[in-house]
A and B are shown apart, each in its own frame.
Chain A
């Protein structure tokens, strides 16, 4: 008997109103996965989406000029033009002509819209598997960190979290990500750190979404503090357990959000 095709149905139903450029299956993290061989226009698009997601480009705000974008991303202007065309077709930006012309983020752009889109078009299975993957790699890193980190190094990282409640939502997300990679780098493993950073890029928008669904920035900060304490104490199992607990809670919150998107 063939296995139930529940997930494909979920995805098909969900993708009915998602953008035509999104391909079904395994696309849940496609928007946030590291740039592979897709070509440079994809890079420009992703970076602009990233900027919108982080609130660095707000609704109605003007984009940098084509030549500025080209320079800052290290791509040719024609590549930027290609990306802007795609984004226009997807309804993410509008172009106005005339004196105050240029490309602008659409008025109703919401920073969380891409994360919500990714969540909507993902299956539960894919979400849980992302959680498993992320937990496995991050867990391996923090276990190594617990064995190899020096107290002074952990103390410096822990201190960075003290500023968390002074920051706005985007800055909080940034700080939590920065602290996470610093703790991971204490593993002294370049390979594992590289792997974890890719997964962090994929998982971070979901962590931002989870912040709106029960696992707020303060809770994530507290989890990282407990993780730091475990690393400082030289306790690999406690470090692993703390990481897994946060990831489980996040995935569960996301799945709840999937069924009830308000």
Chain B
């Protein structure tokens, strides 16, 4: 077993910086949103329309973030928070930053129960920010996505989660050159050993490193984002088959 080389710390810094920006953006408005929701609820029933109007400016602000490629953003309500609907997403996404209307998607997504999905379940239970994925986000983006989520305080328990989507394509484009510049082969994996991105083209996003050569290599955690960096100091031709 190798001891972690010095370059690994540099890679960890890059990754933590990259993913802490979306987390900080969401954290910048969750408490204000929480207050607004409590106030709104005290004056009259909290409906889908009222939540959409309250959340929209925060979603738009998040979509305007330039340091990471935000594809979608918004608020996912706790079950039964609203008066006129058991569940609700106040979500804006895409090239035009248009509002996502689940009921009018070509496949009716309105009734999908999101309460068991990782990006909702984990922050609601832990009370902490969470980076989920890579996963096929079949509810919102319909693409291979990383979802960053921060719980929104509520009366008693959480009112829901504030979230944003990063498309893997875009993250790959952003991060891979930075990781490659550190030398060696760098592979970023999530908590279950799934590859997020890798500078080594023989490792595809979505592959599992469990039981492979990579699982034995020096690895460092990126605190606060539940991602690990695997560093392969061998360059190019010596790395062999995964």
Binding site for B on A (CB under 8 A): 34-36, 43, 46-47, 50, 54, 71-75, 148, 150, 152-153, 156, 160, 174-175, 178, 181, 185, 187-190, 193-194, 197-198, 200-201
Contacts and interface: CB of A to CB of B under 8 A. Distances in A.
Interface string B182-194: 0000000000111
B100 to A, nearest CB: 9
Contacts of B136: 185, 187-190, 193
Nearest to A192: B136
Interface string B93-126: 0000001010110111001110010000000000
Nearest to A36: B106
Most chain A Cβ neighbours within 10 Å, of B104, B113, B135, B193 = B104
A25 to B, nearest CB: 22
Given A148-B206, A148-B208, A185-B135, A43 B104 contact: yes
Contacts of A194: 138, 142
B111 A74 contact: no
Nearest to A196: B138
Given A43-B104, A190-B143, A71 B49 contact: yes
B48 interface: yes
B61 interface: no
A150 B117 CA distance: 15
Majority-rule SS of A interface residues: helix
Interface string B175-212: 00000000000000000111000000000011110100
Interface of B: 48-49, 99, 101, 103-104, 106-108, 111-113, 116, 134-136, 138, 142-144, 192-194, 205-208, 210
Nearest to A156: B116
A152 B210 CA distance: 13
A190 B108 contact: no
A54 B111 contact: yes
B107 A197 contact: yes
A150 B133 CA distance: 12
A30 to B, nearest CB: 14
B138 A47 contact: no
Nearest to A153: B192
B116 A160 contact: yes
A189 B205 CA distance: 10
Given A190-B142, A194-B138, A198-B106, A150 B101 contact: no
20 contacts: A43-B104, A46-B108, A75-B104, A148-B206, A150-B194, A150-B210, A152-B192, A174-B111, A174-B113, A178-B112, A188-B136, A188-B194, A190-B144, A193-B138, A197-B107, A197-B138, A198-B106, A198-B107, A200-B107, A201-B108
